[in-house]
Amino acid sequence: MMETNWPPDTPLDELPLSVRTSNCLRNAGCVYVSDVVSKSEGGLLSLPEFGRKSLNEIREVLAKGPPVSVQDLELEIERWRGRYEGAIEAISAIVSVHKQETDK
């Protein structure tokens, strides 16, 4: 089974695949990412007009995953900023307690 970073219910039409690969998969009845990842590499290679180049392409696209939006990146930055600020406060508190203990 192939590994993927795409949600299984993603339509294959949303993947950046060549026309040839898309047509081969569509003609084989594959509509979603889950349809492709459920097939073995040998099963894919047995599809008409689906060769090694198409297999390498689908492997690469599935492994890469969907593009990340600017909005997703901004949310991730905010999430990390919150974690970072919390860490600074925690370290400051530990240093303060340690300083009080050593000053005794």
CB under 8 Å to 36, separation ≥6 — which residues? 2, 12, 25, 30, 44, 58, 62
Please state the pTM of the whole predicted model: 0.65
Percent of the chain with pLDDT over 90: 58
Q: Domain 12-64: which CATH class?
A: mainly alpha
Q: What is the pLDDT of residues 59-104, one digit of tens each?
A: 999 999 887 777 877 777 777 777 677 777 777 788 888 777 777 6
- Given a cut of 70, whether residue 43 has pLDDT beyond it is yes
For residue 46, the SS3 value is: coil
φ, ψ dihedrals at 32, nearest 5°: -120, 165
Output the average pLDDT for the chain: 87
- Sorted by where each begins, the domain ranges of the chain are 12-64, 68-104
